[in-house]
Amino acid sequence: MTKSVLIEKIAEKVDGLSKKQTEVIIETIFESIKEALAKGGKVEIRGFGNFRLRSRKARKARNPKTGESVDVPPKKVPYFKVGKELREMVNRDI
């Protein structure tokens, strides 16, 4: 599902909300999640999951083109942990 499809689905379900208004709401939600993670926080949406940061240590890697060893600095990466409700819903049909 793309962001534009999500906007359309929400605009259809909520009476009196235009696609443009829905787009502003979706953009605000995404920006809020990004800002929270950029500040080192976490975002918890009950029944859906958690957005957090994970730290990766510095490491040695290899350039596949030249075979040369390269130092990769430590960094933080966004991580999503699925909530129990969503996990059960996804695995229901198995």
Percent of the chain at pLDDT exceeding 70: 99
Say if CB 10 and CB 26 are below 8 A apart.
Answer: yes
The 10s digit of each residue's pLDDT in 13-69 is 998 889 999 999 999 999 999 999 999 999 999 989 999 999 999 999 999 999 999
**pLDDT recorded at residue 15:** 86
- Residue 66 has phi, psi (to 5 degrees) of -105, -20
Decide if pLDDT at 10 tops 70.
yes
The 10s digit of each residue's pLDDT in 54-80 is 999 999 999 999 999 999 999 999 999
**pLDDT recorded at residue 94:** 66
Instruction: Name the token pair of 78.
Output: 């966004």
Instruction: Name the token pair of 55.
Output: 């730290």
